[in-house]
Amino acid sequence: MEVIDCVQHEPEGRFWVSYGSGPGVMVLGYPSKGGVYILRSCFNVELDFLGLDRFNNTERPSKSDPDWQAKEEAHCNRMRRLGATWWRRESDEFLQHELEYPKGTDGYLRVGWPAGGGVWVLHTTLGNASNIGAARIHNAYDMEERCRVIEMLGGVFYADPKDCPYLDLP
């Protein structure tokens, strides 16, 4: 008896980064467990941290590359360090974030990784982020400056990043 798979599978995207009108750019990663990791509104500091080009689309590794899976997994792990959200399907994220107007009670997470170790985390609501002027984080020139801004805004430092409950670290 022939079994037919009736489950629809979304095709995986060709790019980790594909530029549109902005501001910022959405970064995607496709882990071996399936689904997709998504980071929204990434700017220069996040892109530098992820090792991605700040001015050109970044293609995913070709499946003809024998190390493509390891490269994809490493990319996803770097994304997770910045608070990427995992979705079973990319369309689920689109429905959640593109069709619904953001609410002041929605979560807001920004992360900074200082060179000396640990992690700075600003976890609050979108409404509070607006009240404290958290958009300043995006004006940082590098990750060290980003950490200082997160600290200035009341962020929390975790000496051991695995102690941070807001990051899905490997």
Answer whether residue 92 shows pLDDT above 80: no
Range scoring the smallest mean pLDDT among 4-8, 51-55, 112-116, 121-125:
4-8
Cα–Cα distance for residue pair 146/135, rounded to 1 Å? 11
How many angstroms separate the Cα of 11 from the Cα of each of 8, 98, 117, 147? 9, 20, 37, 37
SS3 category, 63: coil
Residue 118 domain boundaries: 102-169
Are 44 and 92 part of one and the same domain?
A: yes
Note whether residue 119 is domain-resident: yes
Q: With bands split at pLDDT 50, 70 and 90, how would you rate the model's confidence at 100?
A: low
Tens of pLDDT, residue by residue over 9-30, are: 555 677 788 777 667 888 999 9
What's the number of domains the chain is made of?
Answer: 2
Question: What is the model's pTM?
Answer: 0.77
Q: Is residue 5 part of a domain?
A: no
Which of 86, 101, 116 is the endpoint of a domain? 101
Among 74, 101, 128, give the residue marking a domain's end: 101
Q: Are residues 113 and 150 in the same domain?
A: yes
Residue 52 shares a structural domain with residue 62: yes
d(CA 74, CA 126): 29
Characterize 135-149 residue by residue with b for buried, 16 or more Cβ atoms within 10 angstroms of its Cβ, and e for exposed: eebbebeebeebbeb
Could you tell me if 49 and 55 are in contact, meaning their C-beta atoms sit under 8 angstroms apart?
A: no
Strand 58-59 relative to strand 15-17, pairing: antiparallel
| Residue that is last in its domain, among 78, 101, 124 | 101
Structure tokens at 125: 């609501």
Whether residue 67 sits in one domain with residue 18: yes
∠ CA(118), CA(43), CA(163), 5° rounding?
20
Q: Are residues 24 and 95 in the same domain?
A: yes
Sheet holding 156-158, edge to edge: 107-112, 119-125, 156-158
